Amino acid sequence: MATDLFNLSGKVAIVTGANTGIGQGIAVALAQAGADVVAVGRSSMDETQAQIEALGRRCYPLKADLSQAKVAGEVIAQARQAAGRVDILVNNAGIIRRADSIDFTEEDWDAVMDTNLKTVFFLCQAMARQLLADGHSGKIINIASLLSFQGGIRVPSYTASKSGMAGMTRTLANEWAAKGIAVNAIAPGYLATNNTDALRADETRSREILGRIPAGRWGVPSDIGGAAVFLASPASDYVHGTTIAVDGGWLGR
């Protein structure tokens, strides 16, 4: 059956930043497709865990401070120990700092680059090492940004980190595709989450944004979840090194 292409039964997915927003949407979508989920982050995962368990899947909350790359190996090892195996890694956790580039501080640069790029690389590395040691294939999905393609304003370190993530995704795919490890990325557009509350509350700014989106609406986390299921599933077995924009057509405008 065609639906088997998207069946994740028996798989275990690690999702960072799964407590809310995009991460929660991805975690729930993967559970709907049959996967158990290791939900990683600093905040409470109670709401995400409840939604996953309501679907009859298992959720393993894992506390970790992803601002430090040195925790990457521990996160993957603890996830495998808790769930018995690991198959899918979704690097969703990230931070953003805003300031005019003329005033941007080294502290803000380093904080964003460490969390959004350095830690993500070492999570990918640790995941690949675990998959190779276990002798089975796997999927790595990095959550990039429209700023992997565009420059933006007042977010130099965020743009650099997400542009770097797109490039890193291609590099890792080049090295690992033949080893059975697929590495891809998703670039979300403007989504209705708590991170965009202020934008959506500003009538002028919200109208400007909607006017640029061909789909005519803000995205929702489940829109990203569908793309994540595709990239995590057998349906995407010949997809390597790509960054899929899920943006309502924003980049094509």
Residues annotated as catalytic (active site), given as ranges = 158
Question: Exposed/middle/buried for 97, CB within 10 Å: 0-12, 13-18, 19+?
Answer: middle
CB of 5 within 8 A of CB of 28?
no
First and final CA of the chain: distance in angstroms?
A: 36
CB of 18 within 8 A of CB of 79?
no
Residue closest to 132 by CA, chosen among 69, 78, 86, 171:
86
**E-strand spans in the chain?**
12-16, 36-41, 59-63, 88-91, 138-143, 181-188, 243-246
d(CA 52, CA 173): 30
Three-class SS state of 214: coil
Question: What sign results for the dihedral spanned by CA atoms 127, 175, 185, 165?
Answer: positive
Map tokens 């997915």 to a residue.
Answer: 13
Which H helix or E strand runs over 94?
Answer: none
